[in-house]
Amino acid sequence: MFRIGQGFDLHRLVEGRKLILGGVEIPYSKGLDGHSDADVLIHAIIDSLIGALALGDIGKIFPDTDAKFKDADSKLLLKSVYNLVKDKGYKINNLDTTIIIQKPKLRDHIDIMRSVIANILELSIDDVSIKAKTSENVGIVGRGEAAIAEAIVLLIK
């Protein structure tokens, strides 16, 4: 049996926060704003896994009204959701993701992010795709106000 899940997340870029993407701290003058560490990429992956299991979304499992998730490490949240996947009898076949951010350039960080995520999800790095795009200076991403991530996952029972 196969299940597919799609995830999406968006966070504002603000001064005074670290930029964490795919579990990796990226040197930049701004970071993503959110209740947890605001790792937009891992949040989209979490949403794709939760969606594939038809369990709602990230806010249902990790509500931003719960103080225990304040400044939470999204890698730990991802591991928790991955344990749900395994408890339901599934494994991940592959994961495809896209980060949309105007700056900074992410090319030099992609393989590190892939490795971090593959390790958490017990996958080969070849089963984790991360693409980085800009929005060609259009909209909130293009103005450097936000970052977006999308993820699609295929689960196998």
Q: What is the mean pLDDT of residues 73-91?
A: 97
Cβ atoms of 61 and 50 within 8 Å: the answer is yes
Beta bridge partners of 4: 154
Query: In terms of residue numbers, what domain contains 151?
Result: 2-156
**What pLDDT is recorded for position 65?**
76
Which pLDDT tens digit goes with each residue over 27-42?
999 999 998 899 999 9
For residue 95, what is the domain's CATH number? 3.30.1330.50
**Dihedral sign of CA atoms 95, 52, 11, 73 in order:** negative
Helix (H, G, I), strand (E, B) or coil at 18: coil
Checking if the pLDDT of 137 tops 80, the result is: yes
Whether residue 48 has pLDDT greater than 90 = yes
Distance CA 68, CA 1 (A): 35
The pLDDT of residue 77: 95
**pTM recorded for the entire structure:** 0.96
* pLDDT tens digits, 86-103: 999 999 999 999 999 999
Query: What interhelical angle do 40-52 and 74-87 show, nearest 10?
Result: 10
What pLDDT was estimated at residue 71? 72
Q: Tell me phi and psi for residue 3, to 5 degrees.
A: -135, 140
Distance in angstroms (rounded) separating the CA atoms of residues 122 and 102: 30
Instruction: Give the count of domains, the chain.
Output: 1
Contact 1, 35 (CB under 8 A): no
